Chain A
Amino acid sequence: MNLAQREPSPFKTYDEPERRRWMSSPFLAGMLFLLPSLVLFGVFLFYPMMRTIYLSLYLIDTQGEPLVFVGVENFINLFQSSSFQTSAKATGLFVLYTVPIGLILALVLALLANEKVKGIGFFRTMFSSTMGMSVAASSVIWMFMYNPSIGIMNRLLSGIGMSEVQWLLDPQFALMSVAAATIWMNTGFTFLILLGGLQNIDQQLYESARVAGVSDWYKLRKITLPMLSPTLFFVTVVSLINSFQTFGQIDILTKGGPMESTNVIVYSIYKDAFINYNVGSASAQAVLLFFCILIVTVLQFKLTERKVHYQ
């Protein structure tokens, strides 16, 4: 680049002030700094998303090439298929099972780990440990824990005199079992972010509260939670989106079964696209997933906008 500047340009020569103005143009500088992100988002996010929407409106051959424009037919087929209805229900329930409990658990852990007692570093590390656990490794462990004959879950149940459960094979329990495993897997990350948020709260607020002699409960409600609200808002959105995107644990634990009871949307897309070679259906589902997440995120922004306390 330096070389090019030294050589006389055949197109246009800039005199020094003009060149400096050009270099210091905020627009150009801004775009240069953003260029890598913009290119990557363009190629690997916006283009494929547009392409997905495009494919969802076509009849697609098994090679993934669009044949005929069919409008919303893929969507109509989808809504009429009982398989998709099951999948939509499974996804909704899964979000409902994992997000609120996961957040509360991580918040409790973060509040506990924010106490200034001896050896707290050890507990913080332990609480965040699942962040270092891959979804594949975690799923294999939970698969063993749920093993009907030798896993710990059924041994605990029989230990307290209850009848054994086919955790992953019973359509009634499979989704909940996967959800429990998922909550555990996600706790480490949520905990770490919330702990970071707690530690960023100005200590003087607590100091003043201590001088004023208010109760712990009051401090939690009037200082901690309001000051933590931007972080809470952030982790809620992230957890929701994560939950919609669940795949690995389904693939390893249940493969969408039994009776499609755990066939959550991303697994269903994967199966349609890469196993059944039905790209039209997969694309239509992907578009619906996109709109679900869009609506959820926009709603969250709108709802929390005024209630969240930003510093």
Chain B
Amino acid sequence: MSLTKKIVTYTLLASFTLIMMFPILYAFLISFMQGGEVLQGKLWPESFSFDNYISAFEKVPLLTYLLNSLIVSTVIMIGVLAVSSLAAFAFVFINFKGRDILFYLFISTMMIPWEAAMVPNFQTVQALGWLNSYAGLTIPFFALAFGTFLLRQQFKTIPHELYEASQVSGISRFRFFYKIALPVSKTSMVTLGIYSFLTAWNMYLWPLLVTNNEAVRTVQIGLKQMQSQEISTEWGVVMAGVVIVILPTLVLLFLGQKRLQEGLTQGAIK
């Protein structure tokens, strides 16, 4: 690569990084400011004090909310991985009558906006007695067409001869799925796992509908609660709440992204 091109590339990379990261840095800086500094519209806090963080934990039960979000996101992630990989396996390796129709059925689920079905879903969950419960927050999200397609693409790269050979030697389908298909698809599973964890953590509308007490409320709703209570007066505290909420997922993303890239690089070498 020529020097000029290198300089241009780095300049572009740096400027886009600045643009993309600015809101996050801004929130971070505000979270350390005192009330007066925020109102003056400063960019850099005079001193880095953790007062806002302490008040954030005092004003709302943030720890409970964080734990709830962690439980909900982890359960959804495991559910999505299990349910999607089973379905993807059927679509790639099992040749049965009606498979194409079912595949179109899966595609059709992507055309149904979940929000269009939320009113009856709310009634269903209410009838099941799942309001304010982890079950109501997680189970409706286990089936994911996107996850199925992602893993289907991955499973397709496994040579079909391998599957046929295993069939001939009497290895059951489930064993092949569990012992061969899943392990060789680790990268895609990690990608889907990270994706489903992050989207679950990010969920907003559904938790807003099905939770109304603090015991199961997720951290996103806690943030809304904070923002509407504190608005215009204590932005520093609100931003401290924001930083607390985004830190776990940012850390996960930063760690997971490396893993993701390693997986991709390994795939390229072999």
Which A residues are within 8 Å of any B CB, using their own CB?
25-27, 29-31, 33-34, 36-38, 40-41, 43-49, 51-52, 55, 64, 108-109, 112-113, 115, 117, 120-121, 123-138, 140-145, 147, 149-152, 155, 184, 187, 192, 196, 199, 203, 237-238, 241, 244-245, 247-248, 251-252, 266, 269-270, 273-274, 279, 282-283, 286-287, 289-290, 293-294, 297-298
Q: Are A141 and B23 touching (Cβ within 8 A)?
A: yes
Report Cα–Cα, A34/B89, bound state, in Å: 9
Which B residues are within 8 Å of any A CB, using their own CB?
1, 6, 9-10, 12-13, 16-17, 20-21, 23-24, 26-27, 30, 38-41, 43, 82-84, 86-87, 89-90, 94-99, 102, 105-106, 109-124, 139-140, 142-143, 146, 148, 173, 177, 191, 198, 201-202, 204-205, 208-209, 220-221, 223-224, 227, 232, 235, 238-239, 241-242, 245-246, 249-250, 252-254, 257-258, 261, 264, 268
Which of B121, B124, B257 touches A124 (beta carbons < 8 Å)? B257
When distances are taken between beta carbons in the complex, the residues of chain A under 8 Å from B241 are 140
Q: Are A112 and B12 touching (Cβ within 8 A)?
A: yes
Q: Are B111 and A297 touching (Cβ within 8 A)?
A: yes
Number of A-B contacts (CB under 8 A): 271
A26-B96, A29-B173 given as contacts; is B227 within 8 A of A126 (CB)? no
When distances are taken between beta carbons in the complex, the residues of chain A under 8 Å from B238 are 140, 144
Q: How far is the CB of B191 from chain A (nearest CB, A)?
A: 8
> Which partner residue on chain A sits nearest B143 by CB separation?
A40
Report Cα–Cα, A210/B115, bound state, in Å: 48
Report Cα–Cα, A25/B173, bound state, in Å: 11
When distances are taken between beta carbons in the complex, the residues of chain A under 8 Å from B173 are 29, 33
Report Cα–Cα, A274/B17, bound state, in Å: 40
When distances are taken between beta carbons in the complex, the residues of chain B under 8 Å from A31 are 96
Report Cα–Cα, A115/B14, bound state, in Å: 14
Q: Are B253 and A131 touching (Cβ within 8 A)?
A: yes
Q: How far is the CB of A144 from chain B (nearest CB, A)?
A: 6
When distances are taken between beta carbons in the complex, the residues of chain B under 8 Å from A252 are 224, 227
A48-B120, A133-B246, A135-B202 given as contacts; is B110 within 8 A of A241 (CB)? yes
Q: Are A247 and B115 touching (Cβ within 8 A)?
A: yes
When distances are taken between beta carbons in the complex, the residues of chain A under 8 Å from B116 are 49, 52, 269, 286-287, 289-290, 293
Report Cα–Cα, A110/B99, bound state, in Å: 35
When distances are taken between beta carbons in the complex, the residues of chain A under 8 Å from B24 are 129, 133, 141
When distances are taken between beta carbons in the complex, the residues of chain A under 8 Å from B6 are 117
Q: Are A144 and B235 touching (Cβ within 8 A)?
A: yes
A selection of 10 A-B contacts at a CB cut-off of 8 Å is: A45-B112, A46-B112, A52-B116, A137-B27, A137-B223, A137-B245, A144-B30, A150-B38, A283-B119, A290-B116
Q: How far is the CB of B215 from chain A (nearest CB, A)?
A: 19
Report Cα–Cα, A143/B242, bound state, in Å: 12
When distances are taken between beta carbons in the complex, the residues of chain B under 8 Å from A184 are 20, 23
Interface centre among B97, B221, B235 (most CB of A within 10 A): B235
Report Cα–Cα, A241/B86, bound state, in Å: 25
Q: How far is the CB of B207 from chain A (nearest CB, A)?
A: 10
Top 9 closest A-B pairs, CB basis?
A48-B117, A40-B143, A48-B120, A33-B90, A132-B253, A248-B204, A51-B120, A30-B96, A286-B116
When distances are taken between beta carbons in the complex, the residues of chain A under 8 Å from B202 are 133-135
Q: Are B120 and A34 touching (Cβ within 8 A)?
A: no
Interface centre among A132, A138, A297 (most CB of B within 10 A): A132
A52-B119, A137-B246, A144-B30 given as contacts; is B86 within 8 A of A33 (CB)? yes
Q: Are A136 and B119 touching (Cβ within 8 A)?
A: no
Q: Are A33 and B143 touching (Cβ within 8 A)?
A: no
Q: Are B253 and A290 touching (Cβ within 8 A)?
A: no
Report Cα–Cα, A117/B3, bound state, in Å: 12
Q: Are B224 and A136 touching (Cβ within 8 A)?
A: yes
Q: Are B249 and A47 touching (Cβ within 8 A)?
A: no
A109-B16, A117-B6, A137-B245 given as contacts; is B204 within 8 A of A247 (CB)? yes
When distances are taken between beta carbons in the complex, the residues of chain A under 8 Å from B268 are 199, 203
Q: Are A289 and B205 touching (Cβ within 8 A)?
A: no
Which of A46, A150, A244, A274 touches B39 (beta carbons < 8 Å)? A150
Report Cα–Cα, A27/B82, bound state, in Å: 20
> Which partner residue on chain A sits nearest B187 by CB separation?
A196
Q: Are B239 and A144 touching (Cβ within 8 A)?
A: yes
Q: Are B250 and A129 touching (Cβ within 8 A)?
A: yes
Report Cα–Cα, A132/B99, bound state, in Å: 36
